[in-house]
């Protein structure tokens, strides 16, 4: 943690872009704090009051508030120069100079996908969100979202349900969980992933904070998936940020007669990739497909050491490596349907079989 960076960001009105200008001009955050008022005022964008605040060290009280709060609640601060600052986020044009966090970032979080959408989705939106987010998370890939109502909360929960990692980027400070109904999510995410924000303790909570945090969601992601969005949805801002950051944009299509899908359809017309399931996302990244194949080999090796029950062996004998439809399995296997479905699930979990589209089952071993 660089205290000098925190000090500059505690000056009212200084954001990532002005911070970047100051550091580029003077060489570092520490050097910036050593400048006199006349020199500081020569920087385009800085006000007389901001220059005075730096020279007079009026930021110190706010810095102390951050340090005391973090110590009390076991939070910590990442600054741009820290080794553990997310590398993928550092690449964007205006990365947050400070991130207050609970939970630890992991190296593998550099391969993550953002999932965003409206706060009041219909049943279709809820089901598609959960299905896609869960499918990605099941591949041990991190899910990033904003911990808002609706699509955000569903995507975080899908990741948690699989035991995978998830990152919540808040539009408020950590002292103010918004919405309050997501307190349970907040508590789970900080244990299983990361909750982070660029809004400092005690800073004024304004709607613009939620707009600014969208660039962090996309900045932490390889691609952003918009599940359900109307024409004015804030998730379209996240998609725009993603495009500007050279991230991929995916959109879930829906009923053209419903306004809940107009934003997604607009993104598709502008070139967003259509996504209906997790494979539609994974297949866009050859390195991820290779990683999935490697994981599959591990499961298969473990499966060879697992003893099967008689029912599972009978079902396995009905399968081949080309794929067999479920109806054919029902006909060939001398077990009732409930036993067959239970057995197939067990074989799939153990890595012996893989379920493909159209209810086909492929034998791995």
| Per-residue pLDDT in tens (0 to 9) along the chain, 365 residues | 789 999 999 998 899 999 999 999 999 999 999 989 999 998 988 999 999 999 999 989 999 999 999 999 999 999 988 888 998 898 888 999 999 999 999 988 888 999 999 999 999 999 999 999 999 999 889 999 999 999 999 999 999 999 999 999 999 999 999 899 999 999 999 998 999 999 999 888 888 888 899 999 999 999 999 999 888 788 888 988 898 988 999 999 988 887 788 889 999 999 999 999 999 999 888 877 666 655 555 445 555 556 778 888 899 888 988 888 888 898 888 888 878 887 887 787 677 887 776 678 888 77
pTM equals: 0.77
Task: Quote the pLDDT of residue 131.
Answer: 94
Assign 2 to helix, strand or coil. Answer: coil
DSSP 76-138: EEEETT-TTS-HHHHTSSS--SEEEEES---GGGGSEEEEE--SS--HHHHHHHHHHHHHHHT
The DSSP code for 321 is T
Task: Quote the pLDDT of residue 297.
Answer: 52
Alpha-carbon distances, residue 345 vs 139, 279, 330 (angstroms): 18, 20, 14
Q: Could you tell me the domains of the chain?
A: 3-73 (1.10.150), 107-282 (3.40.50.450), 288-363 (1.10.10.10)
Task: Quote the pLDDT of residue 229.
Answer: 86
Task: Quote the pLDDT of residue 115.
Answer: 96
């Amino acid at each position: 943690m660089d205290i000098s960076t925190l000090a500059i960001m505690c000056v009212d009105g200084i954001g990532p872009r002005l911070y970047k200008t100051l550091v580029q001009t003077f060489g570092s955050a520490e050097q910036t704090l050593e400048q006199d008022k006349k020199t500081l005022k020569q920087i385009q964008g800085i006000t007389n009051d901001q220059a005075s605040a730096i020279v007079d060290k009026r930021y110190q009280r706010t810095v102390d508030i951050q340090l005391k709060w973090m110590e009390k609640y076991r939070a910590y601060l990442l600054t741009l120069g820290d080794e553990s600052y997310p590398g993928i986020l550092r690449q964007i044009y205006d990365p947050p100079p400070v991130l207050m966090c609970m939970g630890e970032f992991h190296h593998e979080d550099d391969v993550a996908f953002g999932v965003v959408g409206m706060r009041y989705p219909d049943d279709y939106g809820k089901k598609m969100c959960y299905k896609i987010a869960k499918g990605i998370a099941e591949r041990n890939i991190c899910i990033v979202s904003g911990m808002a109502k609706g699509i955000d909360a569903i995507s975080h929960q899908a990741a948690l349900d699989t035991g995978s990692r998830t990152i919540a980027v808040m539009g408020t400070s950590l002292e103010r969980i918004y919405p309050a109904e997501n307190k349970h999510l907040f508590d789970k995410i900080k244990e299983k992933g990361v909750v982070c924000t660029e809004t400092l303790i005690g800073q004024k909570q304004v709607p613009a904070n939620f707009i600014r945090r969208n660039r962090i969601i996309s900045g932490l992601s390889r691609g952003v998936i918009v599940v359900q969005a109307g024409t004015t949805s804030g998730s379209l801002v996240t998609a725009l940020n993603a495009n500007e950051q050279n991230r991929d944009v995916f959109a879930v299509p829906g009923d053209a007669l419903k306004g809940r899908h107009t934003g997604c359809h607009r993104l598709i017309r502008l070139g967003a990739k259509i996504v209906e399931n997790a494979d539609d996302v994974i297949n866009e990244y050859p390195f991820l497909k290779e990683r999935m194949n490697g994981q599959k080999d591990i499961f298969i090796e473990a499966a060879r050491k697992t003893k099967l029950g008689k029912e599972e062996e009978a079902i396995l004998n009905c399968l081949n490596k080309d794929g067999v439809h479920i109806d054919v399995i029902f006909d060939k296997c001398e077990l009732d349907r409930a036993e067959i479905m239970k057995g197939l699930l067990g074989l799939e979990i153990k890595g012996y079989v893989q379920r493909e589209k159209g209810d086909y089952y492929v034998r791995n071993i």
